[in-house]
């Protein structure tokens, strides 16, 4: 009982439900290990009693929770006093220190209702401070709700001092009620950027290709957005993990996505350097042609080897005065975070990309030895800082291209759920990550063995203690060039499944985060950036999560094949009953393409790779029945005028169906537009399948360049479905 109570006080669940009506106990050993990762000793009964006593005394003495959230009302509505503060002792003095350093203070009334602040007398309720104060100098009583609602948006500090001598500090997040939303209904493309090669790519899609795709699809097809895979910095090395969802850093982009010729200094190479750059470009053309014309897989490592050599040459070309000033400003703006990232990159060149194997002193980013190494490697630190700046510039250029093409949302960036344990973020922010833990998923009806994603989780206590600084910095970094943000596994804002390293995923436990604080910071930063937010909320979702996200304006993700009346007859959900607040699509990067789904090709593929949990015929029969039922619904609704047996027509019918739903955004999986049958990623495989290495291809498996895609009759036939429903009146003909 003591262990369970201790776990509860620290947000660690001792049970989980893999299916409705089923409750499974978490092993005590797991609970002890998770608590240890939070610096709580529960290894013996005596340790549990001592830790529980400390925790309960600390909870009883706190006047405030670790974080207080104030939601500013929408449409002129005003929220009341934060619930966490309504029970404060009368006469408690409150002091807010804002992000800008201004201070406001007031005292809760001693002889009136706790919801009222007496104004006009020092210490009697009038906020005192150096900045704008709520009703400063007002006469008579004023609503305490007004005091809170007139605080500036931001992440502030709040101190409470009670008359009995108790004092408590807390974070204070003041946020708008909702994130910005799309103005109307829209459609756009979903694509893995590396898979989209143009005639100018160096063996994989790049940011120049992204700008071209945005410009073409926005101007010619009326598209409102392009959603891409995470562009986070990868862990260097050969072979590099090609998954964009296990990066070294989520705070900074990967320079492998640079369009080398678009770096301004490229044009100023001297003749000798120009010859070397042209040789590298010729070798890159061979890589590109091997993918597009010879059936080779995308080789990220080979691409980076060539780009790195080119960037080393470009790094030796002096920046002009204006460019130098812009770079210096960027470095200053990014501050410690960029210095840490570039230092890790420089050290990784010397000691390898797994910082746990570095000399002991260098494992600490704040050690004197690390400072000495940074100084000794100053040129390499500058090189990696410069690469981040150049990539940021091209990300910004892609965003501008999207806006200039008339796109409302523009580029939708993707935020991975975590980072590689040996990478830059895990090194630089060690205090924020739970050592010895890995994020995953518990066993459920679809995966009896659970999942371990190999990503260290953030410590909820460390986030709260820092005022969510790591989370805020992450969001600001990715939102600076995003028109919208997709959050992978958005349920992680509420809780994550922690697996002790070395244990099977079945022996994990859920650890809860302060979801209201996480959402408030997200809404605040998205509002500052003017960005739409999309949550990937597929799979098992805890009750109340989708409702909480919807209340804050976060769009969900709805995939056609999963939208059934699960609480009723199990049949396909009628279009009118779909939720409005979502991106509706036919598939994702982890699922079969629509052509593969319609033909059953994905079942055969999984069978060949030994991934089926049941006999092939059972899987095939169930899949055929599922597709047949959906096709019948499409036919009944008059969405399949091409009739049965027309694969291309059926794909168009699927997207016609999505347009019948009230979904605010409809995402077109770009490979669907040309009949591609291969998934970009096949969960459950590593080297058995070429995950994250396939170019967009046509129905026969022939890779297609961006130029060929733009001219594809099949793609334009599919987009005619959207032209009639969502194209702006001034859209140009394709």
Report the distance separating Cα 489 and Cα 477, nearest Å: 19
Which pLDDT score, from 0 to 100, does residue 20 have? Answer: 80
Enclosing H/E stretch for 574: none
Q: Model confidence at 250, in pLDDT bands (50, 70, 90)? A: very high
Reported as a pLDDT band with limits 50, 70 and 90, residue 110 is: low
pLDDT at 125: 40
- Report the pLDDT averaged over residues 133-137: 37
Decide: residue 294, CB within 10 A, 0-12 exposed, 13-18 middle, 19+ buried: exposed
Instruction: Name the burial class of residue 120, with classes exposed (0-12), middle (13-18) and buried (19+) by CB atoms within 10 angstroms of its CB.
Output: middle
- Residues 333 and 355: their CA atoms lie apart, in Å, by 26
Mean pLDDT of 640-667: 96
Query: Residue 79: what pLDDT?
Result: 55
User: Do 692 and 242 meet the contact criterion of CB atoms below 8 Å apart?
Assistant: yes
Residue 239: asked if its preceding bond is cis (omega within 30°), the reply is yes
Q: Retrieve residue 360's tokens.
A: 């002991």
Q: Which residues of 246-268 are buried (b: 16+ CB within 10 A; e: fewer)?
A: bbbbbbbbbbbbbbbebbebbee
Tell me if residue 419 falls in helix, strand or coil.
Answer: coil
Residue 465: closest CA among 685, 169, 192:
169
Quick: pLDDT tens for 420-443.
999 999 999 999 999 999 999 998
Q: How confident is the model at residue 261 (pLDDT cuts 50, 70, 90)?
A: very high
Residue 275 φ/ψ region, left for φ over 0, alpha for ψ in the -120 to 50 degree band, beta for the rest: alpha
What tokens were used for 254? 């990967």
Task: Give which of 581, 588, 563 is closest to 657, Cα–Cα.
Answer: 563
Whether the predicted pLDDT of 283 surpasses 60 = yes
Q: How far apart are alpha carbons 266 and 394 in whole angstroms?
A: 14
Residue 80's pLDDT band (cuts 50, 70, 90): low
Reduce the DSSP state of residue 609 to 3 states and report it.
Answer: coil
**Residue pair 561/590 in contact by the 8 Å Cβ criterion:** no
130 alpha-carbon distance from chain centroid: 37
Cα radius of gyration (the chain)? 27
Give yes or no for a contact between 663 and 579, defined as CB atoms under 8 angstroms apart.
yes
Specify the 3-state DSSP secondary structure of 387. helix
- For 140, 199, 472, 500, 523, the CA distances from 461, given in Å and listed in that order, are 41, 49, 15, 18, 21
Which tokens in the block code for residue 631?
A: 């096709």
Task: Please give the mean pLDDT across all residues of the chain.
Answer: 91
Confidence band of 118 (pLDDT split at 50, 70, 90): very low
Pair 38, 434: CB distance under 8 Å: yes
Name the pLDDT band for 131 (thresholds 50, 70, 90): very low
Task: Give percent above pLDDT 70 in the chain.
Answer: 92
The answer, yes or no, to whether residue 475 has pLDDT greater than 70, is yes
pLDDT at 446: 63
Give strand pairing partners of 129.
104
- Separation CA 716–CA 707 (nearest Å): 13
pLDDT of residue 655: 98
Residue 114 structure tokens = 């706790």
What pLDDT shows up at residue 133?
Answer: 39
pLDDT at residue 512 tops 80: yes
Express each pLDDT in 560-571 by its tens digit. 999 999 888 999
Burial of 398 per CB tally in 10 Å (0-12, 13-18, 19+): buried
Is the per-residue pLDDT at 93 higher than 60? Answer: yes
- The helix/strand/coil state of 371 is helix
Let me know: does 134 contact 141? Beta carbons within 8 Å. no
Of 19-28, 42-51, 244-253, least confident by mean pLDDT is 19-28
Structure tokens at 577: 């009953």
* Pairing relationship of beta strands 495-500 and 437-441 according to DSSP bridges: antiparallel
- Give the pLDDT confidence score for residue 724 in this predicted structure: 65
Residues 6+ apart with CB under 8 A from 520: 69, 71, 173, 175
Query: Which pLDDT belongs to residue 128?
Result: 46
Pairing of strands 103-107, 93-97: antiparallel
pLDDT band, very low/low/confident/very high, at 115 (cuts 50, 70, 90) = very low
What are the structure tokens assigned to 271, written together?
Answer: 């003749």
**Beta bridge mates, 502:** none
List, in sequence order, the alpha helices (H) in 140-266: 144-149, 207-221
CB 197 within 8 A of CB 205: yes
CA 544 to CA 530: how far, in whole Å? Answer: 26
- Mean pLDDT over 208-233 rounds to 98
Please count the residues of the chain. 734
- Residue 154 bridge partners (DSSP): 174
Residue 471 CA to residue 517 CA, distance in Å, equals 11
Residues 28-58: pLDDT tens digits? 999 999 999 999 999 999 999 999 999 999 9
Question: Residue 719 in contact with residue 189, Cβ under 8 Å?
Answer: no
Q: Which residues pair with 603 in a beta bridge?
A: none
Per-residue pLDDT band at 594 (split at 50, 70, 90): very high
Place 239 in a pLDDT band, splitting at 50, 70 and 90: confident
């Amino acid at each position: 009982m003591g262990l369970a109570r201790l776990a509860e006080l620290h947000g660690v669940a001792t049970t989980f439900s893999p299916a409705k009506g089923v409750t499974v106990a978490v092993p005590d050993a797991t609970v002890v290990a998770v608590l240890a990762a939070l610096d709580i000793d529960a290894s013996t009964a005596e340790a549990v009693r001592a830790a529980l006593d400390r925790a309960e005394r600390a909870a009883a003495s706190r006047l405030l929770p670790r974080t207080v959230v104030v939601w500013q009302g929408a449409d002129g509505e005003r929220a009341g006093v934060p619930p966490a503060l309504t029970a404060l002792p009368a006469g408690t003095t409150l002091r807010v220190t804002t992000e800008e350093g201004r201070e406001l203070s007031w005292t809760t009334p001693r002889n009136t209702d706790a919801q009222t602040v007496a104004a006009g007398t020092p210490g009697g309720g009038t906020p005192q401070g150096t900045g704008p104060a709520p009703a400063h100098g007002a006469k008579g009583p004023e609503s305490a709700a007004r005091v809170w609602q007139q605080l500036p948006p931001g992440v502030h500090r709040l101190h409470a001092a009670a008359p009995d001598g108790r004092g408590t500090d807390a974070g204070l997040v003041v946020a708008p009620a909702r994130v910005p939303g799309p103005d109307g209904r829209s459609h756009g493309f979903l694509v893995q950027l590396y898979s989209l090669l143009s005639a100018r790519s160096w063996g994989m899609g790049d940011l120049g290709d992204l700008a071209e795709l945005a410009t073409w699809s926005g101007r010619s097809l009326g598209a409102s957005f392009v959603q891409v895979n995470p562009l986070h910095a990868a862990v260097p090395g050969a072979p590099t993990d090609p998954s964009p969802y296990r990066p070294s850093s989520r705070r900074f982009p990967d320079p492998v996505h640079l369009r080398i010729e678009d770096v301004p200094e490229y044009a100023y190479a001297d003749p000798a350097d120009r010859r070397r750059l042209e040789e590298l470009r010729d070798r890159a053309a061979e890589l590109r042609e091997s993918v597009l014309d010879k059936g080779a897989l995308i080789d990220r490592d080979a691409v980076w080897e060539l780009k790195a050599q080119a960037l080393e040459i470009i790094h030796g070309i002096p920046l002009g005065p204006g460019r130098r000033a812009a770079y210096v400003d960027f470095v200053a703006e990014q501050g410690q975070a960029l210095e840490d990232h570039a230092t890790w990159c420089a050290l990784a060149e010397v000691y390898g990309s797994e910082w746990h194997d570095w000399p002991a002193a260098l494992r600490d980013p704040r050690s004197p030895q690390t400072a000495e190494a940074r100084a000794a490697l100053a040129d390499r630190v500058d090189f990696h800082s410069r690469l981040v700046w150049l990539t940021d510039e091209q990300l910004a250029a892609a965003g501008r291209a999207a806006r200039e093409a008339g796109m409302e949302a523009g580029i939708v960036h993707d935020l991975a759920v975590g980072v590689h344990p040996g990478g830059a973020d895990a090194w630089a922010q060690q205090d924020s990550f739970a050592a010895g833990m890995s994020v995953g998923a518990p066993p459920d009806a679809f995966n009896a063995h659970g999942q371990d994603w190999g990503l260290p989780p953030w410590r909820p206590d460390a986030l709260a203690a820092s005022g969510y600084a790591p989370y805020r910095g992450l969001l600001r970094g990715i939102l600076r060039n995003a028109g919208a943000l997709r959050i992978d596994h958005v349920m992680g804002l509420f809780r994550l499944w922690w697996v002790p390293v070395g244990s099977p995923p079945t022996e994990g436990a859920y650890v809860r985060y302060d979801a209201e604080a996480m959402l408030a910071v997200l809404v605040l930063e998205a509002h500052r950036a003017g960005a739409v937010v999309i949550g990937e909320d597929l799979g098992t979702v805890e009750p109340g999560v989708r409702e909480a996200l919807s209340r804050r304006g976060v769009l969900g993700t709805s995939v056609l094949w999963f939208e059934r009346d699960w609480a009723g007859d199990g049949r396909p959900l009628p279009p009118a009953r779909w939720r409005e607040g979502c991106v509706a699509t036919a598939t994702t990067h982890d699922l079969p393409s629509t052509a593969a789904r319609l033909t059953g090709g994905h079942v055969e593929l999984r069978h060949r790779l030994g991934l089926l949990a049941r006999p092939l015929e059972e899987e095939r029969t169930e899949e055929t029945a599922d597709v047949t039922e959906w096709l019948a619904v499409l036919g009944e609704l008059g969405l399949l005028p091409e009739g049965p047996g027309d694969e291309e027509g059926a794909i168009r019918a699927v997207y016609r169906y999505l347009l019948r739903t009230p979904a605010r955004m409809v995402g077109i999986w770009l490979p669907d537009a040309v009949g591609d049958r291969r998934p970009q990623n096949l969960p459950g495989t590593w080297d058995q399948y070429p995950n994250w290495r396939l170019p967009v291809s046509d129905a026969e498996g022939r890779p297609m360049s961006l130029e060929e895609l733009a001219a594809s009759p099949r793609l334009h036939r599919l987009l005619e479905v959207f032209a009639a429903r969502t194209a702006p009146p001034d859209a140009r003909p394709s």
